[in-house]
Amino acid sequence: MTETNTAEQNLQFQAEVAKLLDIVVHSLYSNTEIFLRELISNASDACDKLRYGAITDPKLLDDGGSAFEIHLSIDKTANTLTIADNGIGMTRDELIANLGTIAKSGTSEFMKSLSGDKAKDVSLIGQFGVGFYSSFMVADKVDVFTRKAGEAQGLRWSSDGKGSFTIAQDDTATRGAKIVLHMKKDAEEFLDKFRLRNIVKTYSDHIAVPVILDPAPGEKVKDGDTEKDASPETLNSASALWMRPKSEITPEQYKEFYHHVGHAFDEPWHTLHFKAEGAIEYTALMFIPSTKPFDLFNPDRKNNIKLYVNRVFISDQLEGLMPRYLRFVRGVVDSSDLPLNISREMLQDNPVLRKIQGGLVKRLLKDLKDRAGNADEYNKFWDVFGPVMKEGLYEDFERRDELLDLARFRSSLHDGWVSLKDYVGRMKEGQDFIYTITGEDAALLKNSPQLEGFMAKGIEVLLLTDPIDEFWSSSIGAYDKKSFKTVAMAGDDLSKIKGGDTDEKKEEDKSPASEQAIKDLIENLKKSLGTAVTDVRTTEKLKGSPVCLVADTAGMSLHMARMLKQHGEAGNLAIRKVLEINAKHALIKRLMVLSGTAFDDAAALLLDQARIIEGEPVADPVAFAKRLSAMLEKALV
């Protein structure tokens, strides 16, 4: 192979790439054949991108033609396998960006998680996408010859995958990309035509671009009694899988297409393939993954639906094709009702696209409702994507009722997930609200003092632990004519609800003090605590605890305030806090007879206790420790 190199540049891999390469090379040997699937998928994407670009700039096809192909060639003498395409190609900057760095936010955190046994988990690495780097599973050196469509200068990228790579000009490079793998000795099986034929048929039969196996130099085949030169062989069916009838597609073919379109390694949890006919016609083949993409909650993450117009690729990151709360869905949508020359900018506000989105979401939610009938299977989906789906409760007013039916929650009285339909069906006589409590951890919320009164009466409370819960639960109207209400705002609700032992008998030793004594205590607590709290009031929620801290009805919840503070967005925000007391508790009754410094110290300790239970730091740790020590000293005398 002759090549002309000038201005060769030696560069280091980004640290995350170096670590990923090490994991790929040493942890994925049981799955080595996937390298070919990944490289063919990348070549197919490159052809799709050029086909789209040529719609507005036909000159891009002048050198290399419009018949897109992917070629495989074996050279056993040189011990190389070559994968070549005549797609879009790459510039020098794109070579560095695509083959030397991982330009995804959150990558560092993800790479840190790939340690120990986790690094051997193919599905976990699949959440990131091995892509081009899988080449180094089978090759000890990789050369990439490429020329960007419409440009005159070619380039060569070369690396042994051990920390650095070189880039140089190359006059032999043609339009597209040619990847030459110098195979390792233990990977020579991939220089066998039968092996390659089997891999392409298994993993890449759905690729819409022909995958052609070229004959080896000087290769002959028998034709009767004579020999003739071997001909190129197309290995795949080269038809768009989504346009085939469902009856002709096997589950294995669906799975491999999912791996291709989603660059994923896991099994799809759900497959949806349908053709919409009528005023607007389109075909959709969509998948719900079974594992969570590592960047699912990245604010910059786009959806993963590829849009085609009459099988011509248009875009794979189009805002408006799928709502953000369904951004985990992967797949393809092909429509004949959009013009081929439409720009991405014009697509954003296209009414046809909005109708397609409406149809896609309607079918997806219908399928989810059907699958929700199998609780065990549906709960697996909700475990992974529930926090994202709940974003729709806040963002998608039109489909809020459907999403509420699909939503699942943790509960104070039941293990596992519960639906709102189940919750409402179990509501107590006299209960008018769906009660909720927000926090970081469901187990801790179950033990919150604020739930004591509810637990005593057997009243179910939904435990909301996702950040989005703070937003949708305060903005939503009602479910089945039952409004949502936080336990902190419950007030005297409990006295109206029948249930539990408290309605059957009143224990005398739990009786509250006189109204006047409680009134005096509240006034004294307000004076003692000053601006530390907005108000002090009694509550029926507490049974075994003396106090709890809640937000004032006019302000945000304490959990919301903590979240804002953690993200540095609280600013000078003043949180209105209310100290609620259990007038029947022995500590509160004892507090009524204290005065002076003893009263002030006890009041401060009770407030700090409420803060700790609520997950907040005490205002003055030193003063808290001194008061606690003094109290213990007196109690232990």
Are 606 and 457 part of one and the same domain? no
Look up the CATH number of the domain holding residue 606.
1.20.120.790
pLDDT above 80 (res 254): yes
| pLDDT tier, 423 (very low <50, low <70, confident <90, very high otherwise) | very high
pTM for the model stands at 0.72
Q: Between β-strands 535-538 and 577-581, what pairing exists: parallel, antiparallel or unpaired?
A: parallel
Mean pLDDT, residues 340-360 taken together? 77
Asked if residue 228 is part of any domain, the answer here is: no
| pLDDT tier, 46 (very low <50, low <70, confident <90, very high otherwise) | very high
Are 20 and 161 part of one and the same domain? yes
Domain total of the chain: 4
Are 247 and 198 part of one and the same domain? no
Distance CA 182, CA 619 (A): 65
Are 45 and 149 part of one and the same domain? yes
Asked if residue 230 is part of any domain, the answer here is: no
Asked if residue 384 is part of any domain, the answer here is: no
Are 569 and 584 part of one and the same domain? yes
pLDDT above 60 (res 623): yes
More confident residue, 22 or 115: 22
Asked if residue 161 is part of any domain, the answer here is: yes
Are 73 and 18 part of one and the same domain? yes
pLDDT above 90 (res 564): no
pLDDT tens for 189-221 read: 999 999 999 999 888 888 889 999 999 888 888
> Which has the closest alpha carbon to 328: 284, 375, 269, 278?
269
Look up the CATH number of the domain holding residue 206.
3.30.565.10
Q: Assign residue 311 a region: left if phi > 0, alpha if psi is -120 to 50, beta otherwise?
A: left
DSSP labels for 188-231?
GGGG-HHHHHHHHHHHSTT-SS-EEEPPPTT-EEEETTEEEE--
Torsion of CA 591, 596, 600, 602, to 10 degrees: -40
Mean pLDDT, residues 463-468 taken together? 90
Distance CA 350, CA 239 (A): 28
DSSP labels for 581-600?
E-TTSHHHHHHTT--HHHHH
Are 541 and 453 part of one and the same domain? no
Q: For residue 502, what pLDDT is reported? A: 47
Total Cβ atoms within 10 A of residue 185? 7
Q: For residue 469, what pLDDT is reported? A: 87
Q: For residue 436, what pLDDT is reported? A: 93
pLDDT above 70 (res 559): no
CB 553, CB 583: distance < 8 Å: no
More confident residue, 27 or 202: 202
| pLDDT tier, 18 (very low <50, low <70, confident <90, very high otherwise) | confident
Asked if residue 600 is part of any domain, the answer here is: yes
pLDDT above 50 (res 103): no
Mean pLDDT, residues 486-511 taken together? 67
Long-range contacts of the stretch 342-346 (C-beta < 8 A, 24+):
342/309, 342/314, 343/56, 344/314, 344/315, 344/318
pLDDT tens for 368-420 read: 999 999 999 999 999 999 999 999 998 999 999 999 999 999 999 998 999 99
Q: For residue 124, what pLDDT is reported? A: 44
The mean predicted confidence, pLDDT, of the chain is: 85
| pLDDT tier, 454 (very low <50, low <70, confident <90, very high otherwise) | very high
Are 457 and 495 part of one and the same domain? yes
Are 111 and 204 part of one and the same domain? yes
Are 522 and 497 part of one and the same domain? no
pLDDT above 80 (res 281): yes
Look up the CATH number of the domain holding residue 293.
3.30.230.80
Count Cα atoms within 13 angstroms, Cβ side, for 266: 19
Distance CA 248, CA 238 (A): 15
Side-by-side strand order, sheet with 304-309:
268-276, 282-289, 330-335, 304-309, 312-315
Burial 392-410 (b: 16+ CB within 10 A, else e): bbbbbeebbebbbbbbbbb
Amino acid at 292: K
> Which has the closest alpha carbon to 175: 67, 308, 315, 80?
67
> Which has the closest alpha carbon to 372: 337, 420, 338?
420
pLDDT above 60 (res 540): yes
User: Which stretch of 72-86, 303-317, 338-352, 420-434 has the lowest confidence by average pLDDT?
Assistant: 338-352
Q: For residue 440, what pLDDT is reported? A: 85
Q: What percent of the chain has pLDDT above 70?
A: 85
pLDDT tens for 256-270 read: 899 888 878 889 999
Are 579 and 613 part of one and the same domain? yes
Mean pLDDT, residues 602-622 taken together? 89
Last residue of one domain, picked from the residues 461, 487, 503:
503
497 secondary structure, DSSP code? S
| pLDDT tier, 127 (very low <50, low <70, confident <90, very high otherwise) | very low
Asked if residue 52 is part of any domain, the answer here is: yes
Distance CA 580, CA 331 (A): 52
Last residue of one domain, picked from the residues 486, 503, 520:
503
Asked if residue 328 is part of any domain, the answer here is: yes
Domain containing 490: what range? 409-503
pLDDT tens for 130-140 read: 578 888 889 99
Side-by-side strand order, sheet with 9-12:
9-12, 164-169, 155-159, 139-147, 176-183, 80-85, 70-75, 211-213, 233-234
Q: Is 134 helix (H, G, I), strand (E, B) or coil?
A: helix
pLDDT above 50 (res 93): yes
User: Which stretch of 182-186, 385-389, 617-621 has the lowest confidence by average pLDDT?
Assistant: 617-621
Q: For residue 275, what pLDDT is reported? A: 94
Angle, vertex CA 527, rays to CA 523 and CA 533, nearest 5: 95
Look up the CATH number of the domain holding residue 478.
3.40.50.11260
Are 139 and 265 part of one and the same domain? no
| pLDDT tier, 70 (very low <50, low <70, confident <90, very high otherwise) | very high
| pLDDT tier, 508 (very low <50, low <70, confident <90, very high otherwise) | very low
More confident residue, 384 or 13: 384
Q: What are phi and psi of 254, to 5 degrees?
A: -60, -45
pLDDT above 90 (res 119): no
pLDDT above 80 (res 271): yes
Asked if residue 386 is part of any domain, the answer here is: no
13 secondary structure, DSSP code? P
Distance CA 482, CA 487 (A): 15
Last residue of one domain, picked from the residues 371, 399, 418:
371
